[in-house]
């Protein structure tokens, strides 16, 4: 196996030597943005969409990445190529860079760009076969007027606390509400329900990340003739749903069979989920930016 090489600001470092300054504002203040991307079969999935979201997040924070989006895409492809991987998990991190102690970004002359390429640790197959149990977290998603969850920033503390709440309950994911008690998403996944045959997912403005897997699933669902709606729903709409499932780059699509102790339908992954999951699998294997040609 080739040694893992990590890109930092124009150089490739072996894993043990890859580090940034303790004065980096990404570390000191969570001042930065990131993306989690996958490669399947030698192709990077939705590279353009991930880079676009990265630049959107950076723009919101007035963070100048310092290279163009096209250069960033090239750097990501090159980083995977150097690691000689065909299936990979790619973490792109852009921080405000090294500066003084003090939150003022003006002390940081240049952003730090990090590209980590690694293999992905897949979820146990039983999650996909049997479905997950989830609970609603007492930790709310950030207010859209405070730190909009559309921004994939290095501030994930609400989600981390929510995740820990799930872990304490022995669960892998948790539902997160917004401050008005509407369902927003999960700690690192978006959520879908099937309600009277209609596929529904919360509006992004309720406080969710605009997941690239979410958007892909919505597109696949529409193309297969399903009615798809962005909507508002509460926990109680989930309890009554015919199907519930989650989407994300790492998880892909994973069924949910129990929510806050309520069994979803017959407690088994539903037919619409299974159909979309199969179509998503097909989709990821036939789309993407080629790494080696
Ligand atoms: N919601 C949140 C809050 C996320 O962070 C998603 C939804 C799914 O979005 P995509 O674009 O992936 O379909 C995410 C992204 C990890 C990890 O390493 C994954 C995410 C975030 C942080 C870490 O597993 N998922």
DSSP string, 16-56: GG----TTBHHHHH--EEEEEEEEETTEETTHHHHHHHHHH
Determine if ligand 1 sits within 6 Å of the CB of residue 141: no
Residue 104 has pLDDT above 70, yes or no: yes
Mean pLDDT, residues 134-155: 97
Determine if ligand 1 sits within 6 Å of the CB of residue 35: no
Q: Which pLDDT score, from 0 to 100, does residue 1 have?
A: 61
User: In terms of pTM, does the model score above 0.75?
Assistant: yes
**pLDDT-derived band at 122, boundaries 50, 70, 90:** confident
Looking at residue 231, the DSSP 8-state letter turns out to be: E
Residue 264 near residue 130 (C-beta atoms within 8 A): no
Domain 125-284 indexed as CATH 3.20.10.10: yes
Determine if ligand 1 sits within 6 Å of the CB of residue 92: no
Residue ranges covered by each domain of the chain: 5-118, 125-284
Which residues, in sequence order, are bridge partners of residue 252?
Answer: 248
Residue 84 has pLDDT above 90, yes or no: yes
From CA 155, how far away is CA 144, in angstroms rounded? 14
pLDDT tens profile 247-264: 999 999 999 999 999 999
**pLDDT-derived band at 2, boundaries 50, 70, 90:** low
From CA 213, how far away is CA 248, in angstroms rounded? 5
Mean pLDDT over all residues of the chain? 97
Atom of ligand 1 nearest to the CA of 185: 1
What would the DSSP string read from start to end of 149-185? TTS-BS--HHHHHHHHHHHHTT-SEEEEE-TTS-EEE
- Do 125-284 and 5-118 have the same topology in CATH? no
How close is the Cα of 165 to the center of ligand 1, in Å? 18
Determine if ligand 1 sits within 6 Å of the CB of residue 213: yes
Cα angle at 94 between 291 and 159, to 5 degrees? Answer: 100
From CA 209, how far away is CA 186, in angstroms rounded? 10
Number of H helices, E strands in the chain: 8, 16
Atom of ligand 1 nearest to the CA of 89: 18
Residue 283 near residue 272 (C-beta atoms within 8 A): no
Sequence-distant (≥ 6) Cβ neighbours of residue 19 within 8 angstroms: 13
Tell me the helix, strand and coil percentages in the chain, rounded to 5.
Answer: 30, 30, 40
How close is the Cα of 267 to the center of ligand 1, in Å? 26
pLDDT tens profile 203-231: 999 999 999 999 999 999 999 999 999 99
How close is the Cα of 17 to the center of ligand 1, in Å? 27
Residue 115 near residue 83 (C-beta atoms within 8 A): no
pLDDT tens profile 260-284: 999 999 999 999 999 999 999 999 9
- Residue whose CA is closest, atom 18 of ligand 1? 36
- CATH number among 3.20.190.10, 3.40.50.720, 3.30.470.10, 3.40.50.300, domain 5-118: 3.30.470.10
Sequence-distant (≥ 6) Cβ neighbours of residue 20 within 8 angstroms: 8, 26, 27, 95, 98, 112, 114
């Amino acid at each position: 196996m080739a040694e893992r090489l990590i890109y930092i600001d124009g150089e490739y470092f072996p894993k043990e030597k890859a580090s940034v300054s303790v004065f980096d504002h990404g570390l000191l203040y969570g001042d930065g943005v990131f993306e989690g991307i996958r490669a399947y079969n030698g192709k990077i999935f939705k590279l353009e969409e991930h880079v676009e979201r990265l630049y959107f997040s950076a723009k919101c924070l007035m963070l100048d990445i310092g290279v163009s989006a096209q250069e960033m895409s090239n750097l990501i492809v090159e980083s995977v190529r150097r690691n000689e991987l065909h299936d990979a998990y790619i973490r792109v991190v852009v921080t405000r860079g090294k500066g003084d102690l003090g939150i003022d970004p003006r002390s940081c002359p240049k952003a730090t760009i990090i590209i980590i390429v690694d293999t992905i640790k897949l979820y146990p197959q039983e999650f996909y076969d049997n479905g997950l149990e989830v609970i609603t977290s007492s930790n709310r998603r950030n207010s859209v007027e405070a730190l909009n969850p559309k921004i994939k920033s290095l501030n994930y503390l609400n989600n981390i606390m929510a995740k820990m709440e799930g872990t304490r309950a022995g669960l892998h994911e948790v539902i997160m509400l917004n401050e008005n008690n509407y369902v927003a998403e999960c700690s690192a996944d978006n959520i879908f329900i099937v309600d009277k045959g209609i596929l529904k997912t919360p509006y992004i403005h309720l406080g969710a990340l605009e997941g690239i897997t979410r958007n892909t699933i919505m597109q696949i669902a529409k193309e297969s003739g399903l009615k798809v709606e962005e909507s508002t729903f509460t926990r109680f709409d989930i309890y009554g749903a015919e199907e519930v499932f989650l989407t994300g780059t790492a998880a892909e699509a994973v069924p949910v069979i129990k929510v806050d102790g309520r069994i979803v339908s017959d407690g088994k992954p539903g037919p619409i989920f299974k159909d979309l999951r199969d179509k998503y699998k097909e989709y990821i294997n036939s789309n993407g930016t080629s790494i080696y040609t």
